[in-house]
Amino acid sequence: MAKRTTAARSRKKARGRARKYVYFFGGGKAEGDRTMRDLLGGKGAGLAEMTNAGLPVPPGFTITTEVCNIYYERKGRIPPEIDKEIAANLARLERMAGATLGSPENPLLVSVRSGAKFSMPGMMDTILNLGLNDEAVEGLKRRTSNGRFAFDSYRRFIQMFGNVVLEIPKESFEHEFEAVKAARGAKQDTELDEHALREVVERYKEVVERRTGRPFPQDPHVQLTMARDAVFRSWMNPRAREYRRIYGIPDTIGTAVNVQMMVFGNTGDRSATGVGFTRNPATGKKEFYGEFLINAQGEDVVAGIRTPQPIQELERVMPAAYRQLRTITTRLEKHYKDVQDFEFTIQDERLYMLQTRSGKRTGYAAVVIATDMVAERLISPKEAIQLVDPEALNQLLAPGFDPDEWKRIPTVTRGLPASPGAASGQVVFSADAAVQWASEGKQVVLVRRETVPDDIHGMFVSQGILTATGGMTSHAAVVGRQMGKPSVVGAGELEIDEAAGELRVNGHTVKEGEFISFDGLTGEVKIARVASRPSEILQVLSGALEPSQSDIYQRFERLLSWADKYRRLGIRANADLPDQAELAYAFGARGIGLCRTEHMFFGEGRIPIVQRMILAETEAERRQALDELLPLQREDFYGVFKAMRGSPVTIRTIDPPLHEFLPKREELLVEIARMEALGQEGEELERKRRLLGRVEQLHEFNPMLGHRGVRLGITYPEITEMQTRAIIEAACRLSREGVKVVPEIMIPLVGEVKELRDQKAVVQRVAEETMAAQGVRVKYLVGTMIEVPRGAVTANEIAGEAEFFSFGTNDLTQLTFGFSRDDVGKFLRVYQEKKILEKDPFASIDVEGVGALVRIGVERGRSARPDLKVGVCGEHGGDPASIHFFEQAGLDYVSASPYRVPVARLAAAQAALSVKVGD
């Protein structure tokens, strides 16, 4: 009984808690905290945390992400109890602020901002100065004794509200604004006095009435409700959806709405507003970094309308506020153990913190910051690992320009170095053109006056982004850094004439389609096509540079060596040739998870031999061709084994349908017709005709479901024999040279245990014969790929024969979904747009479907053979989200392409750590 009562009480409490839709913050205390990002969004959780930490944060409240979902579920209607809760929090805010929304004496003004769990720069909308109306503006004027400020705030509010909530194009307002400016001969916005701004306000109200058929809403409570709903609506706008699609953020998480008391950076010259980072987000350097504007509001800094001043200048003009800002932000960095990206406002020399969050940074900066913070004892190596997005390491491997060549080309202009990396490509002036050209296989550089969130699809496909206006925190800079795209912004000398399809700079004209290059680390822009060269890290790995000559290499290595300490999963590489294996080893792979032997068949001079093998009409003929292939394969295997210095090497027997090695039917037909027309009878024509006959014989309707994989080895055992002999001979040779190797011979596409049994018998027989002939014994394993659903389901039987499993998640995905690997591109985008699939299942594992088969395979396989070694060698082996899943599924290793080995090492460590923490 007592138990039931307790349970009922806790259920009630849980329900009670679930019913809380609004969280207050202010006066040194907040109802939420940093752990509540799901519910409060990143911004809301940050405001709560800062408030609790005693920082000067203007009070306010957060309407939770749950309300966003309710808004959509109920088709835009918010239930009255939530409205009531909002009203109660508003009343509390009014009490704390000592001001009332809409009051003609002492009006409270608020900002309304969106804030999802993940920050989505420029994606969502913000409204400032809400609460102003014809009466309140007079109250604001009286209270501040500043009529200009009051009316400037009002006109900004109408413009923002008109645009964001009422969906009136910005130009309609700008047009009126420019008209008033022109009539008064004003060049700068700041030259308009109160009188002029009153006129702007009147004109803006007329715009609203004309456009919507209704007057501008004067009731601040109505304004608030409308603004709240507009934030919810903006969650589903096309830009936001596109952004989420690119970054794999689900639509269902919703956005919170933050309502916060306004403070003003535009009350005069003792006020300012700015943004900054505790460290340089492009280079990672430990320097206080940011920009501010005197007498301005937030959007002026980001929009690039006025060019902001570097934050160091603040020390000169407002030393006390600057010192306080430094102290606070240093504390914030220590508190959050990460670089902070903050927004602040100074109202009459009093500092307010408006936002803090983890700063987005380039891959380069991420590694520098993480290693610096460990050196500063701010974080532990374990925390450093979790601070770096594995994909960031990929950016570090991106190419740069050859410094000598780069130096020789004259610099035509410079901009701000917003995101490092070398970009070279054909100029395009719009995001749509970028997408179009890129789809034609061209490399493009997107050149814009400034970028807007609508440009995101174009930015995504460009080599780099170059803008004429904006600062280091402008849209182009922030998004460029996040995407790891080289970006140069604010190159003010660029004159971009989109209509004419050209840009002019210092006497040069560059037309659309002509080449331009820039360096995102220095900001230099050049009119030329410039080849890039390998990253510093690759130069060290290839021996062109000493490790001691490269600071970033040393940091990269340090970080990855920490990762190695914490990861459980082994890291192997998919490599087919000795030089790939060398690179993979240098990147830290300790083993080959997949050597696709057929890739060796494409080596120089080999294809004719392979074709002879395929065309052979008798076994004897086929064996002759195979005998020629044997030494070539043996040489490759020897090289791959050697490169791995004793680490395991998994070699797969032939897998693809044979017609892949033959010329295309259509090409042969044309060739034969041409020869016949020219009367070229003879041996060559005969050969071509025979080839055509065999190509036609080998033609399959569904080659991926046809005569491939283990089916080839079963029908042509002599291929498996030759490959086994080559593998064992290479291993014996190394063994004689004192190098230990344990080859793992892997049979592909097995779905029925008898298939494996058949091939295993061939392998074992030939291996024994070969070792006897060589007079050396080597240990080797025989295993299989699990890439056919039946193989996963009958894994217990298969494990009776297989000494190891490797999940071929490429084929397993293909066969589980029934999506052809080669044709999925035709419909995948639509699937993603319609949210039928969030992610490309060939890039990131489908946990529920394909993942379930992996779990079944592991479980059943190990039930029959407890020490079964299990890995994965599909593309998913290099994808961080998939690696997280493989950690949970208890695999022994992942195998990734050589360039993704560093990513996999770090992701495996993160997976091990997060799984331990209670996933």
Q: Comparing C-alpha atoms, which of 79, 77, 101 is closest to residue 89?
A: 101
Residues 850-879 that bind ligand PEP (CB under 6 A): 873-874
From the list ligand PEP, Mg ion, none, partner contacted by residue 372 (C-beta under 5 to 8 A by kind):
none
> Closest separation between CB of residue 896 and ligand PEP, Å?
11
Would you give the DSSP letter of residue 492?
Answer: T
Angstrom distance (rounded) from CA 862 to CA 869: 9
Instruction: Report the residue from 239, 485, 555, 596 that binds ligand PEP according to the rule CB under 6 A.
Output: 596
Residues 367-386 that bind ligand PEP (CB under 6 A): none
Task: Closer to Mg ion by CB, 582 or 811: give it.
Answer: 811
Task: Closer to Mg ion by CB, 464 or 791: give it.
Answer: 791
> Closest separation between CB of residue 810 and Mg ion, Å?
5
From the list Mg ion, ligand PEP, none, partner contacted by residue 594 (C-beta under 5 to 8 A by kind):
ligand PEP
Q: Where are the alpha helices (DSSP H) in 235-341?
A: 238-247, 298-303, 312-317, 319-336
From the list ligand PEP, Mg ion, none, partner contacted by residue 873 (C-beta under 5 to 8 A by kind):
ligand PEP
> Closest separation between CB of residue 734 and Mg ion, Å?
28
Active site residue 475: yes
> Closest separation between CB of residue 890 and ligand PEP, Å?
19
Angstrom distance (rounded) from CA 270 to CA 758: 85
Number of residues that bind Mg ion (CB under 5 A): 3
Would you give the DSSP letter of residue 250?
Answer: -
> Closest separation between CB of residue 648 and ligand PEP, Å?
16
Task: Closer to Mg ion by CB, 102 or 709: give it.
Answer: 709
Q: Where are the alpha helices (DSSP H) in 132-169?
A: 136-144, 147-164
* Residue 529 near residue 510 (C-beta atoms within 8 A): no
> Closest separation between CB of residue 787 and Mg ion, Å?
5
Kindly tell me the burial class for residue 641, based on how many C-beta atoms sit within 10 Å of its own C-beta (0-12, 13-18, 19 or more): buried
| Interface stretch with ligand PEP, choices 178-186, 372-380, 450-458, 807-815 (CB under 6 A) | 807-815
> Closest separation between CB of residue 872 and ligand PEP, Å?
8
> Closest separation between CB of residue 910 and ligand PEP, Å?
23
> Closest separation between CB of residue 661 and Mg ion, Å?
17
Backbone angles phi, psi at 422, to 5 degrees: -95, 130
Contact track, Mg ion, 771-790, x by CB under 5 A: ----------------x---
Task: Closer to ligand PEP by CB, 649 or 668: give it.
Answer: 649
Amino acid at 916: K
Give ∠ CA 360-363-365 in degrees, rounded to 5.
70
From the list ligand PEP, Mg ion, none, partner contacted by residue 653 (C-beta under 5 to 8 A by kind):
none
Angstrom distance (rounded) from CA 164 to CA 211: 14
Residues 501-540 that bind ligand PEP (CB under 6 A): none
From the list ligand PEP, Mg ion, none, partner contacted by residue 125 (C-beta under 5 to 8 A by kind):
none
Instruction: Report the residue from 172, 810, 832, 914 that binds ligand PEP according to the rule CB under 6 A.
Output: 810
* Residue 413 near residue 471 (C-beta atoms within 8 A): no
From the list ligand PEP, Mg ion, none, partner contacted by residue 339 (C-beta under 5 to 8 A by kind):
none
> Closest separation between CB of residue 644 and ligand PEP, Å?
18
Backbone angles phi, psi at 115, to 5 degrees: -170, 100
Task: Closer to ligand PEP by CB, 652 or 884: give it.
Answer: 652
Task: Closer to Mg ion by CB, 808 or 851: give it.
Answer: 808
Annotate 99-152 with three-state secondary structure: CEECCCCCEECEEEEEEECCCCCCCCCEEEEECCCCCHHHHHHHHHCCHHHHHH
Q: Within the chain, what is the greatest distance between any pair of CA atoms? A: 104
Listed in order, strand segments (DSSP E) in 736-818 are 743-747, 781-786, 804-807
From the list Mg ion, ligand PEP, none, partner contacted by residue 874 (C-beta under 5 to 8 A by kind):
ligand PEP
- In DSSP notation, 1-58 reads -HHHHHHHHHHHHHHHHHT--EEEEETTEES--GGGHHHHHHHHHHHHHHHHTT----
Angstrom distance (rounded) from CA 91 to CA 26: 13
From the list Mg ion, ligand PEP, none, partner contacted by residue 85 (C-beta under 5 to 8 A by kind):
none
Count Cα neighbours of 746 within 13 Å in the Cβ-side half-sphere.
31
- The number of beta carbons lying within 10 Å of the beta carbon of residue 80 is 8
Interaxial angle between packed helices 607-615 and 619-643, expressed in degrees from 0 to 180 and rounded to the nearest 10: 140
Task: Closer to ligand PEP by CB, 894 or 903: give it.
Answer: 894
> Closest separation between CB of residue 785 and ligand PEP, Å?
7
From the list ligand PEP, Mg ion, none, partner contacted by residue 694 (C-beta under 5 to 8 A by kind):
none
From the list ligand PEP, Mg ion, none, partner contacted by residue 237 (C-beta under 5 to 8 A by kind):
none
* Residue 463 near residue 447 (C-beta atoms within 8 A): no
Contact track, Mg ion, 807-846, x by CB under 5 A: -x--x-----------------------------------
Give the active site residue among 475, 659, 876, 884.
Answer: 475
Q: What are the structure tokens assigned to 608, written together?
A: 């004719």
Helix (H) or strand (E) run with residue 808 in it: none
428 phi-psi bin (left φ>0, alpha ψ -120 to 50, beta other): beta
Residues 428-447 that bind ligand PEP (CB under 6 A): none
Instruction: Report the residue from 655, 729, 846, 887 that binds ligand PEP according to the rule CB under 6 A.
Output: 655
- The number of beta carbons lying within 10 Å of the beta carbon of residue 914 is 14
From the list ligand PEP, Mg ion, none, partner contacted by residue 892 (C-beta under 5 to 8 A by kind):
none
Q: How, if at all, do strands 495-497 and 502-505 pair?
A: antiparallel
Give the active site residue among 68, 595, 732, 873.
Answer: 873
Task: Closer to Mg ion by CB, 26 or 808: give it.
Answer: 808
* Residue 359 near residue 339 (C-beta atoms within 8 A): yes
SS3 at position 551: helix
> Closest separation between CB of residue 594 and Mg ion, Å?
9
| Interface stretch with ligand PEP, choices 51-59, 261-269, 419-427, 805-813 (CB under 6 A) | 805-813
Rule CB under 6 A: say whether 594 interacts with ligand PEP.
yes
Would you give the DSSP letter of residue 426?
Answer: E
Q: What are the structure tokens assigned to 547, written together?
A: 């490790």
Kindly tell me the burial class for residue 702, based on how many C-beta atoms sit within 10 Å of its own C-beta (0-12, 13-18, 19 or more): exposed
Active site residue 873: yes
| Interface stretch with ligand PEP, choices 532-540, 762-770, 803-811, 855-863 (CB under 6 A) | 803-811
Contact track, ligand PEP, 758-797, x by CB under 6 A: -----------------------------x----------
Residues 541-580 that bind ligand PEP (CB under 6 A): none
Instruction: Report the residue from 333, 811, 846, 879 that binds ligand PEP according to the rule CB under 6 A.
Output: 811
- The number of beta carbons lying within 10 Å of the beta carbon of residue 283 is 18
Listed in order, strand segments (DSSP E) in 764-917 are 781-786, 804-807, 869-872, 893-896
Task: Closer to ligand PEP by CB, 475 or 596: give it.
Answer: 596
**DSSP-assigned beta bridge partners for residue 341:** 277, 357
From the list ligand PEP, Mg ion, none, partner contacted by residue 642 (C-beta under 5 to 8 A by kind):
none
Task: Closer to Mg ion by CB, 139 or 808: give it.
Answer: 808
Residues 6+ away with beta carbon under 8 Å from 674:
none
> Closest separation between CB of residue 646 and Mg ion, Å?
27
Q: What are the structure tokens assigned to 675, written together?
A: 């020869």
| Interface stretch with ligand PEP, choices 460-468, 545-553, 790-798, 806-814 (CB under 6 A) | 806-814
Number of residues that bind ligand PEP (CB under 6 A): 10
Angstrom distance (rounded) from CA 58 to CA 67: 23
Residues taking part in catalysis: 475, 873
Binding site for ligand PEP (CB under 6 A): 594, 596, 655, 787, 808-811, 873-874
Binding site for Mg ion (CB under 5 A): 787, 808, 811
